[in-house]
Structures are given as C-alpha cells and as structure tokens.
Amino acid sequence: MVAKRGTTASTAATVIAFDAGRVGRRLRSVPTSQVAINAQIRRYGKTVLARSRYLASNNPHAASAKETFVSALVGCGIKPSSLSTDPAIKKELELAWYDWTDEADADWLTDFYGLQSVVAAEMFEAGECFIRFRSRFPQDGLSVPLQLQLLPAEMLDISYNVILPNGRRIECGIEFDAIGRRVAYHFWRQHPDTDVIFNAVSGLRTVVPADEVLHLYKPMRAGQIRGIPHTLASIVTLAILDQYEDAELERKRIAALFGAFVTRPVPEDPSHPLGDAAQVGDKPALALEPGATIDLEPGEDVKFAEPADVGGNYEAFLYRQLLKAAAGFGVPYAAMTGDLRQTSYGSIRAGLIEFRRRIEAMQHSVMVYQFCRPIWQRWISDAVLSGAVQISPSAFQSKKRDIVRAKWMTPRWEWIDPLKDLQAEKLAVDNGFKSRDDVVEASGYDPTENDNRIAAGRDRAEALDLEFGNPIPAAAPIAAAPNAPSAQQQEQDDGAEDPVPPPNSDPTQD
C-alpha cells in the first residue's frame, strides 16, 4: 500500500491498524500474552479443576447445569447397532454385547451406559476422563474377559514433565515418542489426595501403555494434549455471584434478628455510669407481639430496625448473571435454572435446537469416536479370542471390517410438539426426503430390532385374536357446514356464473 502525499508510511500504518491490536486505555486490561495452551494447562490446570469441582458440587446452578449436560450428552446411553452384512453374526454380536454391558464396570457399580454418564459428568467438571482396559482371567466368569476402569483427571499429574532419551518426553503425565505419538500414561497408583491412612503407595506411579488407555477430552485448540473443564468460561462469574448471594442471604438473616431497640436517657447519678444496675436487670424485657400495646417508662423510646432491601434491580441483575453463566456452561438458561417465565414456545424451541446442535457435535466427535468405537472394537477382538462369539479368528481377520462396523445411536430428543413433529417426520418419509430407518434411529431404537418386535407383536395379536384400533390419521377432515352443498351439486355449480347480489344487500347473508 502506498501512503498518500504528505503522509508518512508509519502514519498510514497507524490509520489502517486493527483497533483490537492497539495498546490504549480501553483495552489496557485485556491480556496480550500468547502463552501456549499446554503451558496454561500446566500452570493453572490444578486450580481450575479444583474450583470447577467445588462449584459443580456446591452451587445449585452449576449442579443443575451439570445434570442437564449429562442427560443431553448420553441420556440413557449411546447404543451400538451392528452393520455386519451377515444376519447371523449381527444377531450374535448384539446378544453377546447385551450380556457384557452389565459386566463392563471394573468397580461393579453400574453398567456400560452408566459408565457413559460418569464419563459425561467428568467431561463437564474436569474436561477429560481416562478409561483403562482391564483384561480378566477366564476363571473370573465374565461373558467376555474385559472390563473398564474409569480414572479421574487427578490420576495423571499435570506437573509431571520430563525430557527422556531418544527424543522422547513426558508432558503433563503423557509420554510421547520422537514424532509426537502417545506411547504411555504415567498414572498415580492411587489418588494423590487420598487420606494419609491409605497412603501405602503414595507418590508411586505406574506406566500404562497408550493402547490400553482411552483419553477422552474435547480439544479447544490445535496441539492441546489435556482437557479443559467445561465450566471454565463461567467459573469466575458463578463463584463471585455465589459469594454475593450468600452475603445477601446472611445480611437479611442478621437484619431479621433485630426487631426493635429501646433507648433510655443517661442516668443523672454521676457515681454510676449505668445507673441502678439492679433496677435495670429486674426490669422485664420488651416483648413485641402483633397488636400489642406497650407502656414505656418516662424518657424511653423505641426505634425499629429498618434493614435495607435488595432493591428492585436484584432479580434483573441475577437473571443477567445467570444468563451469562448458562452461556458459559453451554446449556439453556431455562434448563439450568428451571425458570420458564420469560420463555415462549418459539424461544424455547429455537434455544433447544441450537443446544442440540452443540450436543450432537460432541456426541459424535468425543463420545462415539473416542469412547464407543474403540471399546466396541476391543470388545469384539476379545470376544472372538475368548470364544464368546462363534466366529473363528481366521474368519474374523478376513472379514474384520464388516464385523466391527457399527452405527451408534444417540438418545432420542423429546419432541416439543409430539403431534406436529411426528406428522412432519411422516410427511418426510412419505415424500422420500427421509428414510424410515432414520426416523426409528432418531427415536433411539434399532430399525431391525424394532421391525422384528413389531412383527412378533402382530403375530402374537393374531394368534390371540386381538384387535387394535387404527392409528390416528395425519390430519382430521374438516367438518362440512350444515347447509353446505353436496359434492355433486358443487360440481354442477362450478360452471355457472356467480349471481350478482342486489343493491344495498349483504353478500355474506343468505
């Protein structure tokens, strides 16, 4: 760019500079440091994680946002539907998987889909979670000798950073080779904050190969190696708001303890600054009751406490701050607070659509890709090797892609207007815009299993001579007016000219 005559190049550069890049009064408080994301995680990760867990456990709004996030992300479970072209293999895999889901948890506290809920909760609080494959012995009695152990973020020390020989390094507890591939994870043998009584192996680490560990997190920047709490953007807002509300509540409680103050004149006797102590002590206490008439001594006066109110802007202020916190958490305000007063059908529907888009992206990029698929592939391999499914190892190797291929069905979204939404789905299927299988899968069911159950139910109804009513039509016919002409008369009248109404007459009247 050439500067205008009479204008130096530096002046021209100043004129066309980005305002956001200036260092002036307005932006003086905005940081300009360019610290790498992993360096920020190493520096602030432990503190941010501790505060996030505190708020998610103690603040009602953060706890509600967490439950909303978990129920939306995994619901009752993200379930597989085998895409194997062999019906026999498909059926056998699904039955074996159904049996194993009850045995998946290494702690025996929940099933495979319950583990998904715990993982989702860890994603919200800590931004990451580790899953370790635990191979078991055949004599353990499992349908497939494999279980999953969940490890929280604290089990991998963020401050553990070491340069190793041969170009390897340990960064944030993760060991990388010379070309940046994950080789191993250096976990604590027990939680670093465990009570002293259980600290027999305190400070000891165990090295687990990377192919035995799943690391779930949503990367926010390129090159990020550890997760960031989902609550990060709202921690400051909600923490300060929580302190403000606690102080406001305590102020009102203390103010309510004071009903009235009785003032007395200073005693005239200079020998005793408090006057006759016995007389003051024997004087009955002032009792305030509704409608009571109180006799005061000469010179006494009553002053009632007048605690300051929160003001008329208190609710509006809280609404804006909670709206800001909900935006940081990535959940709808109404779902986090339960406040539906300022919502309408259109606004809540638009908000839920945007929320579902965000959740669906995370379902497929994190939960399905990082959690469900690797576990499904590992489970099938162990099931084949252990003989839990009747597939020979040679046949598995020759048809591995066909056998392990599966589609993961996310929980169905509840319809806001069930009748209209279902009619829209039927209209899309009838006109070829959408397949029937897509509608069934969106409802959280496997199409093949759904059709088999429908057929089985129909056969059972016929065998038992049961009859059921017809489904509700897509649109009920509009009732004809009492004096409306018949269809035949209407056809005859279509060719006739419309009669001209007489002057000064109302054409709408018969």
- Domain annotation covers residue 106: yes
pLDDT confidence band for 501 (50 / 70 / 90): very low
List, for residues 395-428, the tens digit of each pLDDT value. Answer: 899 999 999 999 999 988 877 777 888 888 889 8
Percent of the chain scoring above 90 in pLDDT:
49
- Domain annotation covers residue 307: no
| 117 and 226 share one domain | yes
| 260-263 vs 213-217, strand pairing mode | unpaired
Cα–Cα distances (Å) from 76 to 5, 112, 126, 374, 409, in that order, read 70, 10, 22, 20, 11
| 51 and 103 share one domain | yes
| CB-based contact 136:147 (threshold 8 Å) | yes
Q: Burial level of 423, CB count in 10 A (0-12/13-18/19+)? A: middle
| 113 and 216 share one domain | yes
| 442 and 338 share one domain | no
| CB-based contact 131:372 (threshold 8 Å) | no
- Domain annotation covers residue 276: no
| 206 and 111 share one domain | yes
| 353 and 459 share one domain | no
| 398 and 433 share one domain | no
Please state, in angstroms and rounded to a whole number, the distance separating the CA atoms of residues 357 and 352. 9
Please state, in angstroms and rounded to a whole number, the distance separating the CA atoms of residues 337 and 331. 10
- Domain annotation covers residue 278: no
Please state, in angstroms and rounded to a whole number, the distance separating the CA atoms of residues 156 and 171. 10
- Domain annotation covers residue 255: no
* Length in residues, the chain: 510
pLDDT at 277: 45
Q: Which residues, listed in sequence order, are joined to residue 87 by a DSSP beta bridge? A: none
Question: Highest mean pLDDT: which of 128-132, 350-354, 385-389, 403-407?
Answer: 128-132
| 395 and 417 share one domain | no
- Domain annotation covers residue 479: no
Please state, in angstroms and rounded to a whole number, the distance separating the CA atoms of residues 175 and 173. 7
Q: Which residues, listed in sequence order, are joined to residue 156 by a DSSP beta bridge? A: 187
In the predicted model, what is the mean pLDDT of residues 323-344? 89
Contacts of 76 (CB under 8 A, 6+ apart): 113, 411, 444
- Domain annotation covers residue 186: yes
**Structural domain that includes position 420:** 413-464
Please state, in angstroms and rounded to a whole number, the distance separating the CA atoms of residues 222 and 348. 34
Number of domains present in the structure of the chain: 2
| 388 and 459 share one domain | no
For residue 417, give the DSSP letter.
Answer: S
> Is pLDDT above 80 for 279?
no
- Domain edge (last residue) among 411, 430, 456: 411
| 396 and 424 share one domain | no
List, for residues 222-238, the tens digit of each pLDDT value. Answer: 999 999 999 999 999 99
Residue type, 318: L
- Domain annotation covers residue 48: yes
In the predicted model, what is the mean pLDDT of residues 322-351? 87
Number of neighbouring beta carbons within 10 Å of residue 208? 18
pLDDT at 353: 85
